Amino acid sequence: MLKYDIRFNPSSIEKFIAAEEEKILVHTIELRKRKCEIIFYILHQAGYCIYYMIKCFEYWKKLGIVIRCIDFKHLESNNTSSKMNQYVRNLFGIFNTTADGVNQFVSSIQSLTSPLVQRDIFMFFGIVCTNRTCSRERPPIVTIIGSKDSTGTKYADRVQFSPQEKIPLEFINDLHIYVRELLCEFSNYNSYLPNKLILYRAGVDDGSFEKILDNELPAIRRACQELYGHNPLPKICFIVVKNDHNTCFFTFDEQSNQANNVQPGTVIDTDIVLRNGFDFYLNSHTTIPGTSQPTFYQVLYDDIGFTSDDIQQLTYYLCHTDVRCTNVIHVPAPIHCPGDGRRVALELSQVIVLSEYDPMLNMNNIFGCFY
């Protein structure tokens, strides 16, 4: 563990137990009495119910223990030293974040060119809507995530889904409540509020850009007015993120007569984009040859006054801050992180009687800190 800067004192405890609710609970309480602070459960064919039950113990029993669950099949699939090394690095990167550590962060001084903007306090939001054509098997899910500080490494989230109702959630009800709660989490973590909000919005149809802006921007402003009172309101930048397009880019090498992927960090913001719009394509990550597809960004609203270089550079840097992966990802972390909340919410809806729960789930409280 020293290889990954993880130190256990005095030594680890290993024990095999049956995947039964009562035995796992007794074992967890026993470890707590022995002043154990970290528990790794390696689950082999245990099923989702056992996983959720373990994570719920962490909250409902107020044990004060950091609990991580590992699927045994992931250990089996990473059967070479290089794969296992990468898997363990990712695992302990998640653990470090759970323990309130920082793996990597966004430097506003390096990513922004304006000295005035560099001194601002940023908060990053990601809003993702999936399964808008809903059914009981695929309930509509909306995830709203907000950073806890300006580094873009720590996040809190809110997840909304209503599997028993056939109501599309492309337009989010009570968004101002969720934004206000996330702003409060930012304030509690830092003892101050941000003066700049950057929102990345995914899951929007091509013809709904203006409708989304008209619906959600006033809700965000309402949340700020309720919280900031007579103080100056934060300025806002609202960006739509799209991956479901057919645009690809490549370079052509005349000597080898082959097409190659564009390099990570490549930005296309001329010729094929809107002449009077504020949009661009960004290829942030490395992929295997022939599979490179950039992400499309369209800035619908910006009263911060970003230059094109500023927002492109900041977006690119945010693609480096995902806590679950040491590599660069294809979208900014505020958009990528909600994937875990959506996954947990969808799986939870399949194993728990949802009528017993409020449709608004605080995933950080119920399942421990995912981010």
Side-chain-facing half-sphere of 97: CA atoms under 13 Å = 28
CA atoms of 121 and 234, how far apart (whole Å): 9
Q: What is the mean pLDDT of residues 316-342?
A: 77
DSSP characters over 95-161: HHHHTT--S----HHHH---HHHHTS-EEEEEEEEE--S--SSS--EEEEEEESSTTS--EEEEEEE
C-alpha 1/C-alpha 211 separation (Å) is 51
Which amino acid, one-letter code, is at 13?
I
Contacts for 255-258: CB closer than 8 Å, 24+ residues apart: none
- Cβ neighbors of 150 (< 8 A, separation 6 or more) are 106, 108, 121, 122, 123, 194
Lowest mean pLDDT among 137-141, 221-225, 286-290, 362-366: 362-366
Highest mean pLDDT among 75-84, 106-115, 131-140, 342-351: 75-84
**Which helix (H) or strand (E) covers residue 39, if one does?**
strand 38-43
CA 141, CA 239: separation in Å to the nearest integer? 20
pLDDT at residue 59 in the model? 53
Note if the bond before 10 is cis, omega within 30 degrees: yes
Residues in the chain: 371
pLDDT of residue 113: 64
Tell me which of 30-39, 167-176, 184-193, 289-298 is least confident: 167-176
pTM of the model: 0.76
- What pLDDT was estimated at residue 69? 81
The tokens for 224 are 């700020």
Short-list 175, 174, 177, 162, CA closest to 132: 162
What pLDDT, in 10s, does the model give residues 170-225?
668 789 999 999 999 999 999 999 999 999 999 888 788 888 899 999 999 999 99
| H or E segment to which residue 348 belongs | helix 338-351
DSSP state of 288: -
On whether the CB atoms of residues 267 and 249 are closer than 8 A, the answer is no
Secondary structure of 154-204 in the HEC alphabet?
Answer: CEEEEEEECCCCCCCCCCCCCHHHHHHHHHHHHHHHHCCCCCEEEEEEECC
- Cβ 170 vs Cβ 180: under 8 Å: no
d(CA 251, CA 168): 41
Q: Where are the domains of the chain?
A: 2-98, 108-235+300-367
Q: Count CB neighbours of 203 within 10 A.
A: 25
3-state secondary structure of 184: helix
Nearest CA to 306 among 346, 278, 285?
278
Three-class SS of residue 246?
coil
pLDDT of residue 152: 80
**Most confident residue range from 55-64, 99-108, 125-134, 157-166:** 125-134
Superfamily classification of domain 108-235+300-367: Ribonuclease H-like superfamily/Ribonuclease H (3.30.420.10)
Look up residue 129 and give its amino acid: C
Q: How far apart are CA 57 and CA 29, in angstroms?
A: 10
Query: If you search the block for the tokens 């990513």, which residue do you land on?
Result: 111
Mean pLDDT lowest among 77-81, 233-237, 269-273, 297-301: 77-81
Which residue type is seen at 189?
A: Y
Whole-number Cα distances in Å, 223 to 62, 170, 199, 228, 335: 31, 19, 14, 9, 21
